[in-house]
């Protein structure tokens, strides 16, 4: 449903912080609940609307907190962006041709229903994901897997069609191992809304109250000693940032994501609260634009738009340094960052005007941009208003259409609208490029980019295991993107959380953004 942007929401937030949290609660969600006060319960508050608990169809990186607590993977991309074995006993062995990965599995894991975990479950899970008839949302990410072979009950082999190292990083956010036969036995609604007993994770599904919360209970059969440290995990759906703050300050929740950028430092300094932030390597904020339709069918217009956006101003004045400006798909902290290419695509109003003058739309043009109504990693609506004003300086009129996130993302998947939103990856260099700029991927229809030079460089990077050699390839790749400018990059978000002091204890913000509930200690 389309709605108008209401700038008065900032006033609500100020009232919640300045005037006391309790008064701000009831106008939003009615009577407070007491989850945060019960002994072994951890309560989180995050934005967005959950639509599934199925790990192969989950696209909300906020709500992955629930599916990642139920389902696990062979390896994980941890909070510091490092690979760690999870259901595997060690990192995989790689063949000389870089196409075969062999995993030794843990022998002490059981599913939440008590059944043993074996290589048969791994093969079943990936075979089901890769079957096109099942229409798994995340299938394209793993499409290079040709076959999965069982070598023993605790050993499994993956054969790929070509060298493709990034697939290991994508397991954490795009996959999850489920019990052999569980899909046929239970059906799609079971995995979407109530997947009880078929995962190996520390949390067992308990309840889903639409528009309120999803709750999990402790898996007493979990193989990691002492985990989870909670008896119950409640993840509350609270879209309005002022309400999340009010619930946190009143003690009704223990931890929140997507804190208001303007008030992050002040809230973090309060005696009863703690906060932390860290740059993500995969949280990119961009405009997905249709390269085949006016005015973006002209590369000079795309270059002009990139140079007309003052990203430093947006990062400072809209997001209060919870955004790292970037004009190309590499944050400044990344090992693959190309400083020269980034500078050439960054704010320069004279250069932007020159590009417009050379374009076939030199007299101006109008286009529409769809943005999400609720925050997803960051609230993009204020930035959209600033960009709207900045593009007017080069003769471009940008009409904003504010819609629910699920409406916007479906339009992006179908390729029926220009969109601007924040997307998230584990933090390796290629995920977003594949997702949006290579054929057959989930967001490729939103851009319709024809980039053989980029695809060739990606393949080179996939086959190269050494980071220094990969860096040379990805620096060249960014030069190609500077030339073609198929997307308009704004920057990379910071992951940020605020929590009640002492609960949770020793909490670490995830560079991959999703709250990792598995190791929360209370």
Q: Which CATH number fits the domain that encloses residue 115? A: 3.90.76.10
CB 288 within 8 A of CB 436: yes
> Within this chain, do residues 509 and 381 fall inside the same structural domain, yes or no?
no
Task: Tell me the two tokens of residue 402.
Answer: 């504010």
> Within this chain, do residues 414 and 371 fall inside the same structural domain, yes or no?
yes
> Within this chain, do residues 405 and 258 fall inside the same structural domain, yes or no?
no
- Evaluate the omega torsion of the peptide bond into residue 228 and state whether it is cis, within 30 degrees of 0: yes
Q: Judge residue 97's burial from the number of C-beta atoms within 10 Å of its C-beta, 0-12 exposed, 13-18 middle, 19 or more buried.
A: exposed
> Within this chain, do residues 445 and 354 fall inside the same structural domain, yes or no?
yes
> pLDDT grade, residue 4 (50/70/90)?
very low
- Please tell me the predicted confidence (pLDDT) of residue 212: 97
Which residue in this structure is represented by tokens 């209970």? 217
CB 372 within 8 A of CB 421: yes
The total number of structural domains in the chain stands at 3
CB 197 within 8 A of CB 113: yes
Gap between the Cα atoms of 170 and 77, Å rounded: 8
For residue 421, the Cα-to-chain-centroid distance in whole angstroms is 11
Last residue of a domain, one of 180, 208, 243: 180
Domain membership of residue 193 (yes or no) is yes
Please compute the mean of the pLDDT values over residues 343-352 and round it to a whole number.
98
- Please tell me the predicted confidence (pLDDT) of residue 229: 93
CB 237 within 8 A of CB 46: yes
Helices (H) and strands (E) in the chain, counts: 18, 18
CB 139 within 8 A of CB 173: no
Domain membership of residue 368 (yes or no) is yes
Q: Is the dihedral of CA 134, 135, 141, 146 positive or negative?
A: positive
Please compute the mean of the pLDDT values over residues 255-261 and round it to a whole number.
94
Domain membership of residue 27 (yes or no) is no
Specify the range with the lowest mean pLDDT, choosing from 12-16, 41-45, 61-65, 224-228: 12-16
Q: H or E segment at 149?
A: strand 145-152
- What helix, strand, coil percent values describe the chain, rounded to 5? 35, 25, 40
CB 285 within 8 A of CB 89: no
Please compute the mean of the pLDDT values over residues 148-172 and round it to a whole number.
95
Count of other CB atoms within 10 angstroms of residue 399: 10
Last residue of a domain, one of 180, 203, 238: 180
Gap between the Cα atoms of 362 and 502, Å rounded: 58
Q: What does the pLDDT look like over 445-475, one tens digit per residue?
A: 999 999 999 999 999 999 988 889 999 999 9
Domain membership of residue 274 (yes or no) is yes
- Please tell me the predicted confidence (pLDDT) of residue 413: 93
Report the relative pairing of strands 255-257 and 41-46 from DSSP bridges.
parallel
CB 322 within 8 A of CB 264: yes
- Evaluate the omega torsion of the peptide bond into residue 239 and state whether it is cis, within 30 degrees of 0: no
> pLDDT grade, residue 81 (50/70/90)?
confident
> Within this chain, do residues 450 and 466 fall inside the same structural domain, yes or no?
yes
> Within this chain, do residues 309 and 290 fall inside the same structural domain, yes or no?
yes
Domain membership of residue 339 (yes or no) is yes
Gap between the Cα atoms of 381 and 285, Å rounded: 12
Backbone φ, ψ for residue 207 (5° rounding): -160, 150
> Within this chain, do residues 312 and 415 fall inside the same structural domain, yes or no?
yes
> Within this chain, do residues 339 and 474 fall inside the same structural domain, yes or no?
yes
> Within this chain, do residues 114 and 221 fall inside the same structural domain, yes or no?
no
- Please tell me the predicted confidence (pLDDT) of residue 26: 36
Q: Judge residue 152's burial from the number of C-beta atoms within 10 Å of its C-beta, 0-12 exposed, 13-18 middle, 19 or more buried.
A: exposed
Last residue of a domain, one of 133, 157, 180: 180
> Within this chain, do residues 311 and 404 fall inside the same structural domain, yes or no?
yes
Query: Which structural domain, as residue segments, surrounds residue 211?
Result: 189-278+495-519
Domain membership of residue 90 (yes or no) is yes
> Within this chain, do residues 508 and 410 fall inside the same structural domain, yes or no?
no
Domain membership of residue 55 (yes or no) is no
Kindly report the CATH number assigned to the domain that includes residue 405. 3.10.105.10
Mean pLDDT in the chain? 90
- Please tell me the predicted confidence (pLDDT) of residue 320: 95
- Answer with the residue of higher pLDDT: 292 or 442: 292
> Within this chain, do residues 87 and 233 fall inside the same structural domain, yes or no?
no
Task: Tell me the two tokens of residue 368.
Answer: 């529409």
Kindly report the CATH number assigned to the domain that includes residue 270. 3.40.190.10
Domain membership of residue 375 (yes or no) is yes
């Amino acid at each position: 449903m389309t709605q108008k942007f209401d700038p008065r929401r900032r006033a609500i937030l100020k009232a919640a912080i300045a005037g006391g949290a309790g008064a701000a609660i009831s106008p939003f969600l009615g009577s407070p609940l007491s989850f945060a006060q019960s002994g072994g319960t951890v309560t989180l508050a995050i934005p967005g609307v959950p639509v599934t608990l199925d790990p192969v169809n989950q696209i909300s990186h906020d709500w992955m907190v629930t599916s990642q607590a139920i389902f696990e993977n062979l390896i994980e991309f941890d909070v510091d962006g490092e690979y760690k074995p999870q259901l595997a006993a060690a990192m995989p062995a790689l063949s000389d041709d870089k196409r075969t990965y062999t995993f030794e599995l843990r022998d002490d894991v059981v599913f939440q229903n008590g059944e043993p975990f074996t290589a048969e479950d791994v093969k079943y899970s990936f075979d089901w994901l890769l079957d096109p008839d099942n229409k798994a949302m995340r299938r394209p990410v793993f499409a290079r897997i040709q076959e999965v072979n069982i070598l023993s009950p605790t050993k499994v082999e993956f054969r790929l069609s070509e060298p493709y190292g990034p697939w290991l990083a994508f397991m954490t956010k795009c996959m999850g191992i489920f019990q052999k036969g569980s899909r046929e036995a239970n059906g799609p609604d079971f995995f979407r809304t109530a997947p009880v007993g078929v995962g190996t994770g520390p949390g067992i599904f308990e309840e889903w109250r639409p528009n309120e919360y999803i709750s999990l209970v402790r898996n007493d059969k979990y193989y990691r000693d002492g985990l989870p440290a909670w008896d119950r995990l409640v993840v509350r759906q609270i879209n309005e940032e002022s309400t999340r703050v009010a619930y946190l300050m009143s003690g009704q929740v223990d931890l929140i994501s997507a804190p208001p950028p303007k008030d992050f430092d002040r809230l973090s300094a309060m005696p009863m609260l703690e906060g932390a932030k860290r740059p993500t390597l995969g949280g990119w904020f961009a405009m997905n634009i249709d390269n085949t339709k006016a005015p973006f069918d002209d590369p000079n217009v795309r270059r002009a738009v990139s140079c007309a956006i003052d990203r430093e101003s947006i990062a400072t004045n809209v997001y209060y340094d919870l955004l790292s400006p970037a004009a190309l798909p590499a944050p400044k902290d990344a090992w693959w960052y190309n400083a020269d290419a980034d500078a050439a695509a960054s704010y320069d109003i004279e250069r932007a005007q020159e590009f417009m003058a050379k374009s076939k739309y030199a007299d101006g043009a109008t286009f529409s941009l769809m943005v999400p109504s609720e925050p997803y990693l960051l609230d993009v609506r204020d930035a959209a208003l600033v960009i709207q004003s900045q593009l007017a300086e080069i003769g471009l009129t940008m009409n904003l259409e504010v819609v629910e996130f699920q409406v916007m993302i479906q339009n992006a998947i179908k390729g029926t609208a220009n969109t601007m939103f924040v997307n998230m990856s584990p933090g390796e260099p290629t995920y977003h490029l594949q997702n949006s700029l290579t054929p057959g991927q989930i967001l490729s229809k939103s851009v319709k980019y024809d980039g053989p030079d980029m695809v060739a460089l990606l393949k080179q990077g996939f086959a190269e295991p050494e980071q220094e050699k990969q860096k040379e390839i990805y620096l060249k790749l960014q030069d190609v993107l500077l030339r073609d400018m198929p997307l308009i990059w704004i920057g990379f978000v910071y992951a940020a959380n605020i929590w009640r002091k002492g609960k949770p204890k020793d909490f670490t913000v995830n560079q991959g953004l999703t709250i990792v509930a598995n190791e929360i200690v209370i």
